[in-house]
Amino acid sequence: MGVFVCEKIGYDRNMIYFITGNAGKLAEAQAIIPEIEGLAVDLPEIQDIDPEAIIKAKLLEAQKHLKKPVACIVEDTSLYMDCLNGLPGPLIKWFLKRIGTDGLAELAQRYNNAIAYAETHIGYMDTAGEIHFFVGRVDGMIVKARGDTGFGWDAIFVPDGHNKTFAEMTSEEKNAISHRRIALDNLRDFLENKSI
């Protein structure tokens, strides 16, 4: 059982709830979608290597909790390391708890393979219960921890085409190129086209 924050986004007279328990993710989303506000909700989160299964379970739990058909979005962010055949993926939270960012960087160095990518999956459930998925991906590499901004594994991930880790970037720099930004932009495009 985890504590999540339920955010409301006013969008074309529709109410959409964005559920996240991570203040850093919330801040990034607010920079992209300024209309977000907070509301606390307590939901369970399943563990799976399929981010869409995690998202679908969160959306169904949110609907049960809210006790009425409302539009909801949830997200799951993963870090995939080439040297670990795609792990930790959606299990990144548990890898960080066990071995931390230093342990992940050490594994990449030990296997002499720093290739990685970050991926955010956003699930949107409309009031009819239909679910749509939106993905944002950024390729990069794992390095020894650098920087003190950001959260999670930001200090060990350098996106391709850049020389700074996410944790060395300003929030504006990160939000301009992040996997979460790409997924949120895809969601926003979908919502704009849907309302036409």
Q: Give CA 139 to chain center in angstroms.
A: 15
pLDDT interval class at 196 (50, 70, 90):
very low
pLDDT tens for residues 5-27? Answer: 555 554 433 567 788 777 777 77
SS3 1: coil
pLDDT score for 127? 83
Strand pairing class (71-81; 14-20): parallel
pLDDT tens for residues 40-94? Answer: 576 788 899 999 999 999 988 888 877 777 778 888 999 999 999 999 999 999 9
**Number of other residues whose CB lies within 10 A of the CB of residue 92:** 20
26-35: average pLDDT: 75
pLDDT interval class at 164 (50, 70, 90):
very high
**Number of other residues whose CB lies within 10 A of the CB of residue 190:** 14
pLDDT tens for residues 86-133? Answer: 999 999 999 999 999 999 999 999 999 999 999 999 999 888 889 999
Count of H helices and E strands in the chain?
Answer: 5, 8
Taking the model in full, what pTM does it have? 0.87
Listed range (15-19, 83-87, 142-146, 151-155) with the worst mean pLDDT:
15-19
Total domains, the chain: 1
Domain that includes residue 124, residue range:
2-194
Q: Does residue 135 surpass a pLDDT of 50? A: yes
For residue 187, give the CATH number of its domain.
3.90.950.10
Which is more confidently placed, 20 or 169? 169
